[in-house]
Amino acid sequence: MVRLFDTHKLRKTEELSGRLWDFTPMEEGWQHKKCKVMVPGCLENIPGFGNYRGWASYETEFESEGNVRLEFKGVSHFAEVYVDDEKVTEHYGSYTPFSVCIKALKAGKHRLRVLVDNAFREEYALDMPNDYMSYGGISRGVILEKVPDLYIRYVHVTPLYQKESSWIADVEVMCVNLSDTELSADVKVEIAGAAQIRKEMSFIPGESSFRIENMEVRDAETWATENPVLYTVEAQLSREGEVFDDWIDRTGFRTVEVTEKDILLNGKALRIKGFCRHEDHPQYGCALPAQAIAYDLQMIRDLGANSVRTSHYPNDELFLDMCDEMGILVWEENHARGIEEDKMKNPHFEPQCEQVIREMITEHYNHPSIYIWGILNECGSETEYGRTCYQAQYELIRSLDRSRPATSASCKFNADICQDLPDVCSWNIYPYWYDERSAEQMAKDVLTWVRTEGNGDGKPFLVSEIGAGGIYAFRDMSHDIWSEDLQAEILGKQLKELFAYEDCVGMYIWQFCDVRVSRIDWALRRPKSRNNKGVVDEYRRPKMAYQVVKEIFRQIPDYRD
């Protein structure tokens, strides 16, 4: 399963994932360990491959002809794609989709071979041993589509505002012309029953788009956490009345704005009660199947939370589809955790960050649950060079999407020189854990500095991480470090004090579940090789903190007065 709904009625599509592929490790001494593996899946979750790093080959067959578009929702870290032994594309970026079109393929069976590299290399500037596991493999779905010479690439819908009983939206239609000459078609866009037709639109070879401004969508209900109504967006290309391509997505009508103090959803001040969540599971790695993702989100709902931060990379669209339907707000983040100035200076860093941002925003634009974009968690925001990256990335986000705010989680207390750049100032603070101060004191100290010397005055303040470690089933009368008891005590204090602090829009708990960390550098600092700050362990067994958080979160409404 790649999405929760059909994305085409007419265009012929076939899922190439959801089946066994031939897997061959390519590193010296491993080649004999060929086996069948499920795609999607993580390489490290194949028994015997838990610490494998390097190249591996994944192969399958498909039958098709004509123009074939292959879409990979996520291959980690680097992929080279071959069709019948001819290289058709390559891609770096573990957590964002990419695609390739092969023109005029001969009718018959074809061999698809994907060479995957999950090693840590200088050229992969965003993947490194880290406080989470950087899994490898074809970790998300793979789709094959038969496309005509002119096809729809995407439709972006931006809900603008509500006017009486209509929502007003801006629409961008992006098409791809695979031929060498200009091609034309009639284009129909239908959203929630409202249709717009543009006759004989011309498209130059390659990608080109046009806009439909101020489209009225009558009787559309507003999407909100308490009422997550979704509408279908359907586009069609036709010539002389005959439809030859179609494209389907979903949207929700809502606005997000930022004032000096608040983040507004449909004009109402939000109270964020969130969890940071890694895509991680002992059996599935980062390739959680739909049922496991749904289970996480049901628990997050049960905990009384209303938001998830996709720390520290863009997430699977299945997750986003579910958040759209369940009314869970998403802080979607680009891929970068704790990358300091020296590594930001890697010549690959900035182009790769920008590529991830482009792919994330292009592919996830229509999800109403995404209310904010996040970049560069705890990177070199205290340095002049770092600032140039923050600045360029904020500019890029704003050029791609003006309808959502952007932020980055900082921990550079009294040193950050980038607080003038985001729309919301977000801080990772760990009172009572890494810091001895109370949550109230720490939040006040940070915010006072941000609003004075920090240049971040006039913006909402969000706590992007709080938390404490606790090992499942380690109970201790003296509330010793790593006990469930101490974790529950600390989280209780952090939440109560921050909810009482009016200047704080809300908080994200670090983190939903315990996650595996990299063997090099990190495992020695983390008992059980896990970051143990989850309120559930890696198997989703609730710790004492679960009940404490649930009781507090459930008393707090989604909106501030």
Site string for ligand ADA, 426-455 (x = CB under 6 A): --x---------------------------
List the one residue from 80, 84, 90, 131 that touches ligand ADA (CB under 6 A): 131
What is the three-class DSSP state of 177? Answer: strand
Least distance (Å) from ligand ADA to the CB of residue 73? 23
How many Cβ atoms are within 10 Å of 521's Cβ, its own excluded? 12
Q: Which is nearer to ligand ADA, 150 or 439 (CB)?
A: 439
What is the three-class DSSP state of 253? Answer: strand
DSSP secondary structure letter of residue 423: S
Among 436, 423, 435, 393, which residue's Cα sits nearest to residue 505?
Answer: 423
Rule CB under 6 A: say whether 510 interacts with ligand ADA.
yes
236 beta partners: 188, 246
CA 236 from centre of chain: 28
List the one residue from 140, 188, 337, 367 that touches ligand ADA (CB under 6 A): 337
Q: Which is nearer to ligand ADA, 288 or 463 (CB)?
A: 463
List the one residue from 359, 465, 537, 538 that touches ligand ADA (CB under 6 A): 465
Least distance (Å) from ligand ADA to the CB of residue 518? 11
Tell me the C-alpha distance between 377 and 31, whole Å. 38
Do residues 93 and 76 lie in contact, with contact meaning Cβ atoms separated by under 8 Å? no
Q: Which is nearer to ligand ADA, 84 or 131 (CB)?
A: 131
Rule CB under 6 A: say whether 411 interacts with ligand ADA.
yes
Strand segments (E) across 204-352? 206-218, 231-239, 242-251, 256-258, 263-265, 268-269, 272-276, 307-309, 329-333
Q: What angle do CA 282, 285, 290 make, to 5 degrees?
A: 100
Least distance (Å) from ligand ADA to the CB of residue 211? 38
Q: Which is nearer to ligand ADA, 204 or 524 (CB)?
A: 524
Site string for ligand ADA, 89-128 (x = CB under 6 A): ----------------------------------------
Rule CB under 6 A: say whether 533 interacts with ligand ADA.
yes
Q: Which is nearer to ligand ADA, 22 or 445 (CB)?
A: 445
Distances (CA, A) of 127 to 119, 123, 131, 411: 9, 9, 11, 20
Q: Which of residues 360-379 bind ligand ADA (CB under 6 A)?
A: 377-378
Do residues 329 and 306 lie in contact, with contact meaning Cβ atoms separated by under 8 Å? yes
Q: Which residue type is seen at 28?
A: E
Rule CB under 6 A: say whether 423 interacts with ligand ADA.
no
Least distance (Å) from ligand ADA to the CB of residue 430? 7
Q: Which is nearer to ligand ADA, 250 or 533 (CB)?
A: 533
Tell me the C-alpha distance between 386 and 143, whole Å. 37
User: Which residues of this protein are in contact with ligand ADA, per CB under 6 A?
Assistant: 131, 337, 377-378, 411, 428, 465, 510, 531, 533
